[in-house]
């Protein structure tokens, strides 16, 4: 049981039809729900921390909570920085003991993205830490008017090959139509699978990463709305699309929104039904249980990662 890198997990996932879940963590209950699910499913696991999560929880807390989770469950876990925007935050996380960092230079020009990524790769690799980079932009539904405009921001396969060659990055996040948050599609969900296949064909040895991969489970959306929430029209990536993507090089599937929805739905329900209660444990316990059940469902039915540890 230890903090491990993503190297072996991805090597296995790359030659199989399953993907490793990378779950965003912000507090103790979220971590506990996720690790308990991974343990029961005997699944490989990545816990990831965004800059916002680091700021919210303060750096030492999340690393120590993940260490506690390893001691408590006996699991091997990869600890990853999600969307590091510059060298500085990547370096801090390497120095803090993270086993993987993401340098997200996707908003920069191609050459600048290469330059930033190379600098992080050099430092991280010297410390035994894996690096994820991103090429292409994850547009939200509000950003573009139609599929054509949206696909202009998708990853260009030839650029992906050049980028990996020039940076020496360990894994690559790509844009094929997913987006962050709970509103991913206006009409029919669409992912550019032909593009994914082309990228995988050109760089078959590079594990690919799917950001914005929450499925936005209707059960939690309706529960939020039933108990005072206001999130109409939320729509995620259909489960079968995630399963399909795992066949073409997607080794890491990023999930945050589904955790947020599960937690909020249960907290809302408990508070609405128990107006006299004010002990946070009373509503955080069912929220943690809901996260565990949701993550178990994902591992089993969406990621196909049960018993892949």
Tell me which residue of 251, 253, 113 sits closest to 171, measured CA to CA: 251
Alpha helix (H) ranges present in the chain?
7-14, 28-41, 51-57, 59-73, 87-96, 110-126, 147-151, 157-167, 193-202, 218-226, 239-245, 257-273, 280-297
Judged by CB under 6 A, does residue 256 bind ligand G3H? Answer: yes
**Among residues 9, 10, 18, 24, which is the contact residue for ligand 13P, using CB under 6 A?**
24
Judged by CB under 5 A, does residue 298 bind Zn ion? Answer: no
SS3 84: strand
- Separation of alpha carbons 15 and 82, rounded Å: 24
- Could you tell me the two tokens for 212? 């914005």
Is 95 an active-site residue? no
Tell me which residue of 86, 94, 89, 98 sits closest to 62, measured CA to CA: 98
Total site size for ligand G3H, rule CB under 6 A: 8
* Annotated active-site residue in 82, 170, 256, 258: 82
**Among residues 39, 80, 184, 211, which is the contact residue for Zn ion, using CB under 5 A?**
211
**Among residues 25, 212, 245, 249, which is the contact residue for ligand 13P, using CB under 6 A?**
212
* Shortest CB 275 distance to ligand 13P, Å: 31
**Among residues 180, 197, 247, 300, which is the contact residue for ligand 13P, using CB under 6 A?**
180
* Shortest CB 139 distance to Zn ion, Å: 13
- Could you tell me the two tokens for 28? 């103790």
Give the number of other CB atoms < 10 A from CB of residue 15.
9
Nearer to Zn ion, 76 or 104 (CB): 104
Judged by CB under 6 A, does residue 256 bind ligand 13P? Answer: yes
The interface mask with ligand 13P, positions 70-109, x = CB under 6 A, is: ------------xx--------------------------
**Among residues 5, 6, 24, 106, which is the contact residue for ligand G3H, using CB under 6 A?**
24
Angle, vertex CA 245, rays to CA 18 and CA 292, nearest 5: 55
CB 208 within 8 A of CB 161: no
Q: Which residues bind ligand 13P (CB under 6 A)?
A: 24, 82-83, 180-181, 211-214, 254-258
Q: Which residues bind ligand G3H (CB under 6 A)?
A: 24, 50, 52-53, 82-83, 180, 256
Question: Where in the sequence numbering do the catalytic residues fall?
Answer: 82
């Amino acid at each position: 049981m230890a903090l491990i890198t993503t190297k072996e997990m991805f090597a296995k996932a790359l030659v199989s039809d399953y993907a490793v879940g990378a779950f965003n963590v912000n507090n103790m209950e979220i971590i506990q729900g996720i690790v308990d699910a991974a343990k029961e499913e005997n699944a490989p696991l990545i816990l990831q921390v965004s800059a916002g999560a680091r700021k919210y929880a303060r750096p030492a807390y999340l690393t120590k909570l993940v260490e506690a989770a390893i001691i408590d469950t006996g699991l091997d876990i990869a600890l990853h920085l999600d969307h590091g925007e510059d060298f500085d935050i990547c370096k801090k996380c390497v120095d803090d003991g993270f086993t993987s960092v993401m340098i997200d230079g996707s908003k920069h020009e191609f050459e600048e993205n290469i330059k930033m990524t190379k600098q992080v790769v050099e430092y991280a690799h010297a410390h035994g830490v894996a690096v994820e980079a991103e090429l292409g932009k994850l547009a939200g539904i509000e950003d573009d008017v139609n599929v054509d405009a949206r696909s202009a921001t998708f990853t260009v396969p030839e650029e992906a090959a050049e980028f990996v060659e020039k940076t020496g990055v360990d894994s690559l996040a790509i844009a094929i139509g997913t987006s962050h948050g709970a509103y991913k599609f206006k009409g029919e969900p669409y992912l550019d699978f032909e593009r994914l296949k082309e990228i995988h064909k050109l760089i078959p040895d590079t594990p690919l990463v799917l950001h914005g991969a929450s499925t936005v489970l209707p059960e939690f959306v309706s529960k939020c709305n039933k108990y005072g929430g206001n999130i109409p029209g939320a729509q995620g990536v259909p489960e079968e699309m995630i399963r399909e993507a795992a066949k073409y090089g997607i080794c890491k599937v990023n999930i945050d929104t589904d955790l947020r929805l599960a937690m909020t739905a249960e907290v809302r329900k408990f508070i609405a039904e128990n107006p006299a209660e004010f002990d946070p444990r009373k509503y955080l316990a069912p929220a943690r249980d809901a996260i565990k059940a949701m993550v178990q469902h994902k591992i089993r039915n969406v990621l196909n990662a049960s018993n892949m540890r």
